[in-house]
């Protein structure tokens, strides 16, 4: 019986793979442009993606809200709409960039960068742009989220690209990059509305390229600090502690179009998934040469825990349902 089940599952996997349509970028059921996907699996067993949302013909990444999507199979997604907007904030009116999320104390938390002002690329001394890190909470993973503290967690002098990591002991750590694209970490207070102590710059083992978009996860007893090296190619460090010191391990996804990337790495139903955004060519009539869209690939580890190189594909994780069926069949 087990052999027959396994044979059937593997056959379905092969047939399904050959018939599967491309799934990169991810199909959210509309032409919405999303970037900076942050993946999380909550208590209901679904995968949730928290993303930024590129506006049409925006200037200098002027963005206004954050969206969330959910899926049971990584193929069929539900768009839950905008869960928070800068219009809901009293301290910012723009730059709704890369978010992240966490669950603690029976609440869902959305951490995000936001700001105000304008960046003058010709005369930087005239720039008025400012950004800080905010946190909002909700009783639901799909929001709406509310800025309960009414101000930023951190705003001195500049903060961007926050990432929340929940360790096995229940402690929550907040990471972000500063003005010089260097990285900081601080432990969150138990109420998730403030921080414990002050942020401190992490020891990156002597190799500190220009960075943005951190993502931290744990596999076994090792911590992984992943980020877009020089804002583009995805690279990573490893450590025995969520605060470092970190050891550089190299690039695991090359850059695309000399453009930025932002990602997350999540284990889901026995498979490790890399979410990231791609820069795809726009319609010639569009006001934008390229547009950002969320995508996904499988991610694999070597026996020593290092990450294998990941290639961008059109197929992505479109065969995820068949893979899960095959794995479950082997367990029967």
Given strand 77-85, what is the order of strands in its sheet?
A: 34-41, 47-53, 65-71, 77-85
309 domain-assigned: no
Place of tokens 């955004």: 277
Place of tokens 């942050």: 38
328 domain-assigned: no
Specify the pTM: 0.90
316 domain-assigned: no
Residue ranges making up the domain that contains 175: 24-299
pLDDT reading at 21 higher than 50 = yes
Place of tokens 């919405």: 32
329 domain-assigned: no
**pLDDT tier at 300 (50, 70, 90 boundaries)?**
very high
Place of tokens 């104390």: 105
Q: What is the pLDDT of residue 4?
A: 40
247 domain-assigned: yes
Q: What is the CATH number of the domain that holds 267?
A: 2.115.10.20
Identify the burial level of 277 via C-beta atoms within 10 angstroms of its C-beta, where 0-12 means exposed, 13-18 middle and 19 or more buried. Answer: buried
Q: What is the pLDDT of residue 97?
A: 95
Instruction: Give the separation between CA 297 and CA 261, rounded to whole angstroms.
Output: 14
326 domain-assigned: no
8 domain-assigned: no
1 domain-assigned: no
pLDDT reading at 162 higher than 80 = yes
Instruction: Give the separation between CA 245 and CA 232, rounded to whole angstroms.
Output: 23
Instruction: Give the separation between CA 21 and CA 33, rounded to whole angstroms.
Output: 20
Peptide bond preceding 157 in cis form (omega within 30 of 0): yes
In angstroms, what is the C-alpha Rg of the chain? 20
User: Positive or negative CA dihedral for 91, 149, 177, 313?
Assistant: negative
Identify the burial level of 168 via C-beta atoms within 10 angstroms of its C-beta, where 0-12 means exposed, 13-18 middle and 19 or more buried. Answer: exposed
């Amino acid at each position: 019986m087990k052999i027959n089940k396994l044979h059937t599952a593997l056959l379905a996997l092969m047939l399904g793979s050959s018939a599967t349509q491309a799934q990169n970028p991810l199909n959210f059921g509309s032409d919405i442009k999303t970037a900076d996907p942050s993946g999380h699996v909550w208590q209901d067993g679904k995968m949730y993606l928290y993303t930024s949302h590129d506006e049409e013909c925006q200037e200098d990444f002027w963005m206004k809200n954050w969206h969330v999507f959910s899926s049971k199979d990584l193929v069929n997604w539900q768009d839950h709409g905008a869960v928070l907007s800068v219009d809901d904030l009293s301290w910012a009116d723009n730059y709704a960039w890369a978010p992240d999320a966490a669950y603690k104390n029976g609440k869902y938390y959305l951490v995000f960068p936001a700001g105000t002002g304008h960046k003058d690329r010709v005369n930087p001394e005239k720039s008025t742009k400012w950004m800080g890190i905010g946190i909002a909470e909700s009783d639901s993973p799909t929001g709406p989220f509310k800025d309960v503290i009414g101000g930023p967690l951190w705003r001195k002098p500049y903060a961007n690209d926050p990432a929340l990591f929940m360790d096995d002991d229940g402690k929550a750590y907040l990471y972000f990059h500063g003005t010089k694209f260097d990285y900081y970490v601080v432990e969150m207070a138990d109420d998730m509305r403030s921080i414990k102590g002050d942020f401190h710059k992490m020891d990156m083992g002597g190799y500190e390229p220009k960075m943005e978009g951190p993502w931290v996860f744990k596999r076994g007893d090792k911590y992984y600090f992943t980020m877009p090296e020089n804002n583009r190619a995805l690279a990573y460090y490893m450590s025995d502690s969520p605060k470092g010191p970190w050891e550089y391990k190299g690039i695991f996804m090359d850059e695309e179009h000399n453009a930025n990337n932002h990602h997350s790495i999540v284990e889901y139903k026995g498979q490790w998934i890399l979410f990231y955004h791609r820069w795809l060519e726009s319609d010639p009539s569009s006001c934008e040469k390229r547009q950002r869209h969320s995508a996904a690939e499988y991610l694999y580890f070597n026996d020593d825990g290092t990450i294998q190189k990941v290639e961008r594909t059109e197929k992505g994780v479109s065969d995820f349902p068949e893979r899960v069926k095959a794995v479950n069949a082997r367990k029967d």
